[in-house]
Amino acid sequence: MEVAEKRRELVLWIMVTVESLLFLCACCAEIPPRKVVWDGDCNPHIRLKRSEETVIIDNGLVEVTIENPSGHVMGIKYMGMDNVLECGNPNSNRGYWDIVWDDNAFDKMETKHVKVVAHTDDLVELSFTKKWHFTTDHGKAVPLNIDKRFVVQRGVPGLYMYGILERRHDFPEAQMYQLRIVFKLKEDKFGFMALSDTRQGIVPRGGDRDSSRSQTLAFKEAVLLTNPSNPQLKGEVDDKYQYSCENKDNKLHGWVSDDDAVGFWIITPSNEFRTGGPHKQDLTSHVGPIALSMFVSTHYTGIDIDVTYKKGEAWRKVFGPVLIYLNSASSDDDHRNTLWNDAKRQLSEEIERWPYNFTRSRDFPHAEERGEVCGQLLVRDRCLDEEPTQAQSAFVGLAAPGNAGSWQTEGKGYQFWAQTDNTGRFNIKNVRAGEYNLYAWVHGFIGDYKLDLNITIQPGNKINLGTLIYDPPRNGPTLWEIGIPDRTAAEFFVPEPHPAFVNTLCLDAADKFRQYGLWDRYSELYHHGDLVYTVGVSNYSRDWFFAHVPRNTGNGTNWSTTWQIKYNLQDVNEEGNYTLQLALAAASYAELQIRFNDREAVEPCFTTSRIGYDNAVARHGIHGLYRSYTIIIPGKRFHKGDNAIFLTQTRSHGSFDAVMYDYIRLEAPAG
């Protein structure tokens, strides 16, 4: 610890010295007229030029121009392209940080000061800062002290960006719903978008979404292209939420300019600074052409995610670094593939280098200042096996102390996740110092694991937790089950999209649920009556619709719907208690009521009450927030022979009031 501090001090001292040298260098360099003057003439590898309006960094591969002192990225010059960003936009609308706070107030996080924190043979790091002052900023600017960092390294065609945001204890209460970096690329150049190996393609131009060229569908984000500039896209749907991704997969996305055979990519080597854990979904790239680095949002969680900061609540967090990476290919080969594959290669390299050792902010700890937690997770489902079994491919993570599963809605701190191997072993590396709980969930088992111990990570320590055992909810042997406990509705029936509402970027089977309008297919398929599932006869991948939505009968009303599970019991233990294990994958403005055998019962046996804002149906997610319920039902409610369970989703104000199921299981009384 002490050694690390000393090293930091030394680094800081060197930084200050470098700055003074730079200053000298800039002074003497001002003398010769007309010649372009670079501070960095004292450094042939990376040149830096500062003027009243701009700061320019050039490493011979890219030239990055940042507005002084706002910290907006005005230009990125790369290969033959003078600016890969849209120079038709004002400086503040090309490459910028922004935040949405309180009542939809929007702040572009403009800064007031710029400082060169490092200029060496290997890199330049700039810091653009602003301090929040009550007298001038209250009610006008988000109550945050802002430090936006930009790093250009020798030999890397790109720009590393990170930000250090701070609330002091006397800052006013604020809700900070969304924080991101936005890039708006040159519109007439970047037309090919790539988000994954399967979701890639030519997408419409920004103007194609105008009302003269498209028709707005059920919400403003979704449009049907009626007269796009590229006629081949006519009749397709476009909606930025179709390009969403889970945090764990949201590592690389971006664009290709076919004319220049140039790629622009956002590379995110770690999720530690993202909120809501590995399965939280968020936006990536979308029509504009726009590329986003999302750090905080309420997407697919709604306001259940914790983004409220009270007065007196001091907070400081580092977002990033992320890498804005540029690459090029020769335009005669299969340049799109070449660029995508090269970007993937770069991603692996960045992951290898994580946590970066070049950043100069004290708030971003390097590897030796971080800790590690390992152990082995077993799962013991008493009705399957006497002995615990190894929890394979389970997600195990450290997040702020809270209840089991609270990481899903944790929106302020850092989270560190790993997956177990085939023997249930896990190793969570590069954990920042701090206090955490250890959480997990295991594919194939319901519920959430939490280790009842606060774990304090100190720099350099390695904690072996030994063998941990998860006892998932279980009261008795399985009578029947529907679905797979995997926190998504993906295994259920996901219909084909209506032929008039296809997006060709989502044609891969794994992306089927991202198509537009699938919710409406319920009303077509179940026009004459709601879904009925017969245990032993029905097959959940064909007969269980992926979302429990209202039914639109076309006469102007959305009807709340009641699904039925029919099953047969050969014996009933009237004295015992049965258990319904219910796991939901999503909920929006919903209430699920459950009745056993008596559909008309005034009082349901169980209700979830009003739950959820995750909007997963409208936003083409196959899950939102996970919830699980263990419902005890006395044996006298059951009949020998035929039985039915009625699942009523009572809310039907709009077609997106819905739940998605993850898994349902009926358990007999124990023993």
Ligand X SMILES: *[C@@H]1O[C@H](CO)[C@@H](O)[C@H](O)[C@H]1NC(C)=O
Contacting residues toward ligand X, per CB under 6 A: 353, 357, 401, 435, 454, 539, 541-542, 553, 555-559, 575-577, 632, 634, 653-656
Dist. CA 420–CA 467, nearest whole Å:
12
Dist. CA 245–CA 511, nearest whole Å:
10
DSSP class of residue 273 equals: T
Minimum CB separation of residue 307 from ligand X in Å reads 19
Closer residue to ligand X (CB): 168 or 219: 219
CA dist 465 → 80, 300, 403, 427, 428 (Å): 54, 33, 19, 10, 11
By residue count, the chain amounts to 671
Tell me which H or E stretch contains 137: helix 134-137
Closer residue to ligand X (CB): 388 or 669: 669
Q: What are the residues facing 493 on neighbouring strands?
A: 545
Which residues have CB under 8 Å from 304's CB, separation 6+?
409, 612, 613, 614, 625
Phi, psi of 19 (to 5 degrees): -65, -40
Closer residue to ligand X (CB): 388 or 550: 550
Minimum CB separation of residue 108 from ligand X in Å reads 33
Minimum CB separation of residue 1 from ligand X in Å reads 18
Closer residue to ligand X (CB): 505 or 617: 617
Closer residue to ligand X (CB): 327 or 359: 359
Minimum CB separation of residue 541 from ligand X in Å reads 4
Closer residue to ligand X (CB): 139 or 556: 556
Q: What is the dihedral of CA 169, 174, 178, 180, to 10 degrees?
A: -40
Closer residue to ligand X (CB): 338 or 541: 541
Whether the CB-CB separation of 563 and 647 falls below 8 Å is answered with: yes
Which residue minimizes CB distance to ligand X?
654
DSSP class of residue 49 equals: E
Closer residue to ligand X (CB): 608 or 615: 615
Spatial CA neighbour of 392 closest among 443, 438, 466: 443
Closer residue to ligand X (CB): 192 or 545: 545
Dist. CA 329–CA 340, nearest whole Å:
10
Closer residue to ligand X (CB): 106 or 559: 559
Minimum CB separation of residue 363 from ligand X in Å reads 18
Minimum CB separation of residue 492 from ligand X in Å reads 11
Dig out the tokens for 632 from the structure.
């005890």
Minimum CB separation of residue 275 from ligand X in Å reads 18
Buried b or exposed e, range 132-164, using 16+ CB within 10 angstroms: beeeebeeebbbbbbbbbbbbbeebbbbbbbbb
Dist. CA 623–CA 616, nearest whole Å:
6
326 residue type, one letter? L
Closer residue to ligand X (CB): 10 or 87: 10
Grouping H, G, I as helix, E, B as strand and the rest as coil, residue 550 is coil
Minimum CB separation of residue 55 from ligand X in Å reads 25
Closer residue to ligand X (CB): 601 or 632: 632
Closer residue to ligand X (CB): 390 or 577: 577
Minimum CB separation of residue 401 from ligand X in Å reads 4
Minimum CB separation of residue 577 from ligand X in Å reads 4
Dig out the tokens for 629 from the structure.
């319920």
Spatial CA neighbour of 621 closest among 228, 96, 214, 242: 242
Minimum CB separation of residue 176 from ligand X in Å reads 21
**CA angle, corner 559, sides to 590 and 238, nearest 5?**
70
Which residues have CB under 8 Å from 475's CB, separation 6+?
577, 579, 630, 632, 667, 669, 670
Spatial CA neighbour of 443 closest among 491, 494, 382: 491
Spatial CA neighbour of 515 closest among 533, 527, 502, 530: 502
Grouping H, G, I as helix, E, B as strand and the rest as coil, residue 336 is helix
Minimum CB separation of residue 143 from ligand X in Å reads 24
Minimum CB separation of residue 553 from ligand X in Å reads 4
Cα dihedral across residues 184, 59, 270, 408: positive or negative: negative
Whether the CB-CB separation of 318 and 163 falls below 8 Å is answered with: yes
Closer residue to ligand X (CB): 454 or 464: 454
Dig out the tokens for 97 from the structure.
């940080």
Dist. CA 199–CA 417, nearest whole Å:
25
Minimum CB separation of residue 632 from ligand X in Å reads 5
Distance of CA 656 to the CA centre of its chain: 21
Minimum CB separation of residue 454 from ligand X in Å reads 4
Minimum CB separation of residue 405 from ligand X in Å reads 16
Q: Which long-range contacts (CB under 8 A, 24 or more apart) does 194-198 make?
A: 194/253, 194/254, 194/255, 194/256, 194/336, 194/340, 194/343, 195/243, 195/245, 195/253, 195/284, 195/285, 195/505, 196/245, 196/249, 196/253, 198/508, 198/510, 198/511
**Sequential DSSP letters for 569-638:** ES---TTSEEEEEEEEEEEEEE-EEEEES-TT-SS-SEE--SEEE--TTTTT-S--S-EEEEEEEEGGG-
Dig out the tokens for 375 from the structure.
């152990």
Closer residue to ligand X (CB): 143 or 550: 550
Closer residue to ligand X (CB): 400 or 507: 400
